Amino acid sequence: MRFDGLSERARDGLVAAGWSEDRTFEIPEEYVSLCAQVGYADIPWDVGQFIRSLNGLELVHPHFSMKDTEISTIFDSVATLSDMSWTVLRNEYEPAAEDGPLYPFGQTPYGLYFMASTRQRVYGGYSPYLGLFGLDFVDYLNRLYDDRVPETIKR
C-alpha cells in the first residue's frame, strides 16, 4: 500500500521495520472470523488494505508524551483483537469516537490498542482513555514519528 504524504522520518521508520510499498499479506482468517463473531462481517476495503500492508511489523518510534523515550507499536491484528475487550470496544470506545465500528489492528507493549474506523481515522485506547491518533492512516503514521500529542476524546 502506498502512503502518499508520509514524512521522511515516518517513511524511514516504516522501511527500517521491513515495510515497502508492495508489501502485502492476507488478512489472517482468524481476524476475519473474530470480527464476524461480534457482527463485523465485512472489513472495509481501506481498513483491510492498511492491515495487509503493516500486519506483522513492529515500529519503533518516539513515545507520545515522553519525548526522549522510544516505544514500539506492534501491528498484529489477531493478537490485538484477541487481547482487547470487545465489551470495552463496543460500549466505551465506539460511542466516544462516534465514528462507527472500530477495527483493532495494533498495540503497544503497555496496552494501548490502536483501532481504525471506516473513515480511516485511527484511535488509541486503554480504558477509560481514548485518543484520536490520526485523521487518516498517513496522519497516524506521521504522528507516530513527529512528536504530536494525540487529541484526547475520553478520559
Residue 45 backbone dihedrals phi, psi, to 5 degrees: -55, -50
| pLDDT at res. 5 | 95
SS (H, E, C) the chain: CCCCCCCHHHHHHHHHCCCCCCCCCCCCHHHHHHHHHCCCCCCCHHHHHHHHHHCCCEEEEECCCCCCCEEEEECCHHHHHHHCCHHHHHHHHHHHHCCCCEEEEEECCCCCEEEEECCCCEEEEECCEEEEEECCHHHHHHHHHCCCCCEEEEC
The model carries a pTM of 0.93
Instruction: Give every CB contact of residue 119 below 8 A, 6+ residues apart in sequence.
Output: 99, 100
Q: Tens-of-pLDDT digits for all 155 residues of the chain?
A: 889 999 999 999 999 999 999 888 888 999 999 999 888 888 999 999 999 999 999 999 998 878 789 999 999 999 999 999 989 999 999 999 999 899 999 999 989 999 999 999 999 999 899 999 999 999 999 999 987 889 999 87
Of the candidates 53, 52, 51, 71, the one whose C-alpha atom is nearest the C-alpha of residue 61 is: 71
| pLDDT at res. 2 | 85
Question: Whole-angstrom Cα distance, residue 36 to residue 30?
Answer: 10
The residue whose grid cell reads 500492508 is 53
| pLDDT at res. 65 | 79
Amino acid at 68: D
